[in-house]
Amino acid sequence: MCFSLCSLFPEDYEIYVEELVRYAWGLELYKGMGSIKVVRSEVLAAMDILKDSCLLLNCGERHVKMHDLVRDIALWIASNRKEFSFMIKSEVVELWPKDESCEPYEAVSFKTSRIVQLPKGLVCPNLKILLLGGEGKMTTSSEFFEGMKALKVFALNSRLISPDAFQFQTNLRTLYLEHCKLLDISVLEKLKKLEVLSFSWSDIKELQEEIGLDNLKLLDLSYCGKLQRIPPQLIRRLSQLEELYLHGCERIKWATENTVQEESYASLSELNSLSNLIVLSLVVSPAHVPKDFLFCKLQRFYLFGDTESLNLKNVVGCQNFVPSFESGRVVFSKLTTLDLESCEHMKCLIDTTKQQLLPNAFSNLLKLSLKNMRGLEELCSGHQPHGFLVKLKTLMIDKCRDMTCAIPILQCLERLEVKYCDEMQVLFQIAELGSIQRGPSHHVSLQSLKVVTIHNCNKLRYLFPMSVAQSLGQLETLEIPSCLELEEIIPETEVSNINLQSPREVYLNDITLEGLPELKGRDGHDIILALPSLQELEMRECPQLTPFIISAKIQIAGLRSIQEGPSYYVSLQSLKVVTIGNYNKLRYLFPTYVAKSLGQLETLNIYDCFELEEIIPKTEVPNINLQSLSEVYVSRCNNLTSLSSLSQGLS
């Protein structure tokens, strides 16, 4: 059915998948599934199958497109089905078709219509879904809908809606209004079966107290730029609500302790009563944030205890996200995604400094994004709560310029991005080194980490503590641009029982090192890492690195230890692309014993290496085979007089 729903849209139309989710819910395509979240998962899975089968084209995040030929087939299939027949008008329609009866149709789409005068007295006893476009001054009245009493889904775009428009649609389950102007919405109270209501981008100044909508599961008021008032207690009455979208509604006023009696607004604390709420999208104006909003009072009452996704922007005046709570409470137990942006004055996510019994906090969080958080110093002030970030997979910290304390070591962490954190001196937070020595009970690990990007963190001197370096076997991508004081990726340590020499398979295939003036190897000479899977290496403006040599095991050692015997097999067997630039002290790139493994090397780009004399030093070993090398770019390497060392096997 998702395939058929896509054919309701015009040719070359970018279909918003979330729109399909709401239609599918209204049509009860997935009966027995009790939540919109579950239906969304089913629709997304169906979209993936259709895209994999080349029946749909991917065109951006959460949008798909149906090719014209595929759409024609879908419409042909629909025209031959008795149980769900379609009337589709793809071209711009000026008039409703007079000679065509709507009685047999269960789906009608006039998505691109410019019909000024809608007909009256239509008989559409089987119609379940109607998609109708328009232009701003076109009016929709009840006389048009009177004969559509089986209608379950109605989507309307860019029209005026009269006060009595939906008085006959008692079976309506999804009402999707976009860019509409509602003259009076109190009539919606009669839609007792309505479960999905969207007013996105519509001209509406306030919700009216008469609206009941006891069964509403999704309310979308996003980008209703004129919306100023939600009556008090209205939100509280939406007891079945699962998803609430209020982003783009910057003019909404919320009740605060300074609100006078004559100014009657809803309070954010009403969200506390919505026990089924799992998705909340909210932009709060700083002028209307009560002192106890979310960060204190609401958390005490588990305001967002069952929320799964939370996005907050421009919330100011709150020092902590969760500053206090009752002992033994569970904090945000179901939250999986948290995005905070431009929340000035917030110093930490959670403060446990005054707690005797630690709570269980953020134990199911999978993604945490912190952006432009001026004033944020650390994730947790005090001892970490039970289960704190134990399932976190993605952590993104961007422009948190006051953050000084390191992040905890998280065994499930897969992706780490830290950018423009000017004051951060230590990246990972570990316990005292003595505790690591006491035994396996204190083992710390980054065993799941795959992607690391560290950008413009100018006070960092190293990245990975030696104590966790041996757990980086899953690391695939390492990008470190513009960290001016970074000296080492893994520092020397006094912990004697940390052994990085043990064999371990690694997957690192992409390294970018750029703008690192202090980065050097173990003795200021070399860096030797184990990367047989390495495919792409980019190194620019790292003047203190001399030969950058990569061996087959994760290890840091001096160059002599590799040259002294065969116990360390050196291989770059997967390397395909190498870019080296701005190395004034570099005399050669690859030692002979490394060059012998470069059979997969395809592209070599070298520039601004003024002391470079040889790419591969002269050797008596003749069997160097560069069979895949097809592109070599060399510029501004004045001492390099010959490429003869590449001639053996050069394709």
Weakly modelled stretches of the chain, pLDDT under 70: 61, 82-85, 89-92, 99-100, 136-137, 163, 210, 212, 257-263, 283-307, 315-318, 322-331, 356, 430-444, 492-507, 521-532, 545-571, 619-623, 645, 647-651
* Alpha-carbon torsion (447, 448, 451, 454), positive or negative: negative
| Distance (Å) of CA 228 to CA 93, 210, 547, 595, 617 | 35, 17, 64, 69, 73
The three-state (H, E, C) secondary structure of 51-90, written as one string: HHCCCCEECCCCEEECCHHHHHHHHHHHHCCCCCCEEECC
Write the burial class of residue 621 (CB in 10 Å: 0-12 exposed, 13-18 middle, 19+ buried).
exposed
Give dist(CA 425, CA 334) in Å, integer.
Answer: 32
Cβ atoms 124, 104 nearer than 8 A: no
Tokens matching residue 243: 């998803």
Of 318, 329, 310, 316, which is closest to residue 368 (Cα–Cα)?
310
Measure the CA–CA gap between 365 and 333, rounded to whole angstroms: 8
pTM over 0.85: no
Coil vs helix vs strand at 137:
coil
Distance CA 216, CA 193 (A): 8
Residue 350 sits at φ, ψ, to 5 deg, of -145, 140
Q: Which CATH number fits domain 2-81: 1.10.10, 3.30.300, 3.30.70, 3.40.50?
A: 1.10.10
pLDDT in the model for residue 54:
92
340 neighbors 312 (Cβ within 8 angstroms): yes
The pLDDT of residue 570: 54
Any long-range contacts for 59-65 (C-beta under 8 Å, 24+ apart)?
59/14, 60/14, 62/16, 62/17, 62/18, 63/14, 63/15, 63/16, 63/17, 64/6, 64/14, 64/15, 64/17, 65/12, 65/13, 65/14, 65/15
**pLDDT at position 619, please?**
59
Q: Position of tokens 């003869």?
A: 644
- Residue 19 makes CB contacts below 8 A (sequence gap 6+) with 155, 176
Return phi, psi of residue 607, to 5°. -150, 155
Q: Is 567 exposed, middle or buried (0-12, 13-18, 19+ CB in 10 A)?
A: exposed
Domain layout of the chain by residue ranges: 2-81, 502-651
Interatomic CA distance for residues 13 and 279, integer angstroms: 27
pLDDT number for residue 563: 32
Per-residue pLDDT at 26 = 95
Distance in angstroms (rounded) separating the CA atoms of residues 204 and 104: 35
